[in-house]
Amino acid sequence: MRSYSVRDVERLLQLSPATTRGLIRAGFVKPARGERREYRFSFQDLIVLRTARALSEAKIPAKRIRRALASLRRALPESVPLSGLAISALGDHVVVRDGEARWQAESGQYVLGLDVTVEDGVLRVVEHRAAAVAAAAAVTAERDWFAQALSLEDSDPRGALEAYRQAAEAEPANVATWTNWGRLLHEQGKAQEASDVYQRGLTHAGRDSLLLFNQGVLLEDLGDIGAALNAYQTALEEDPDLADCHYNLARLYESLGKPQHAIRHLGQYRRLMTSGG
C-alpha cells in the first residue's frame, strides 16, 4: 500500500509545515515511521489530517474531534476516493456522508444535512446548505485545472503538464501550481523548462519554501551549486523547519569542504526529523 511523505501531504492537501506538525502533535493522526525515522502517511491519514484541520477551523472542541476521527478512521477502507466523502460540522457534531448515507461520526447515527464537502480532493467547510451551493458555484477554472493535474500525474504525465499550464494561466498566484508543474517537468528530464517554470512561479506567486527547495534541487542537477545554495538558504528564510533543505545544505557544504556549516545543518535536520518536522 502506498505511503506519503510530509512533503507529499503538504503538496496534496496544501497544508503548511507548521499546520501538519501541529495536527500530529495534537494527536489527530499517528503516522508510521520510515527507514530514516521520517513520517510516512497512509491514504487514511490524508483524509483524517484534512478533516482535522477543517473541523479545528470550524471551532469543534479538540476532544470531540479526536473521538470523531477515531470513529471515522475505523469506518474508512484502505483506499477511497477523496471525492467520495463529505464531512461536516453540524452544531457540535461531526457528520460524514459516504455516497447517499449521512451518519454521525461519533455515534454512527444517521442524520440529514451537510456543511462541509470534499470536491476534487479539497475539503471545504461551510456553515449552511446555501453556503455550500454558493461555494460550489464559485469554484474557479484554476481549481478545476489544478485538481485535474493532480489526478493525471501518475496515469497521464503529459496531460498533467498541460493541466498545470492551464491552472497557472488561470491563477498565477497559486504557488502550488508552479511547484508541482516544475517538479513534474524535472522528473521528466525537462530541466530547462522546469527552471523557467520555477522562475516564473517566484515572479508571480512570490517566495515560497517548497518552490525554492525544488528550484535548489534542480539547480544542483544542472551543476550550478552556488545558485542551489542560494535557493536552499532562501527557502530556509521562509521556513526554517524545512528538514530536507537542511539535509541538502549539509551535503553540499560537506562537498565544498565546509564541515562547520555541514555539521550545523545536519544537526538541524536530525532535530527536525526526531521531532517530526
CATH architecture of 141-239: Alpha Horseshoe (1.25)
Strands in the chain per DSSP E = 32-33, 39-40, 85-90, 93-98, 101-104, 116-119, 122-125
pLDDT digits (tens, 9 = 90+) for 190-237: 999 999 999 999 999 988 888 999 999 999 999 999 999 999 999 999
| Residue range 133-140: mean pLDDT, rounded | 39
AA identity, residue 76 = L
To the question of pTM greater than 0.75 for the whole model, the response is no
CATH architecture of 6-137: Orthogonal Bundle (1.10)
pLDDT at 145: 83
Residue ranges per domain, the chain? 6-137, 141-239
- Nearest-5° Cα angle at 229, 221 to 15: 85
- Report the DSSP beta bridge partners of residue 41: 4
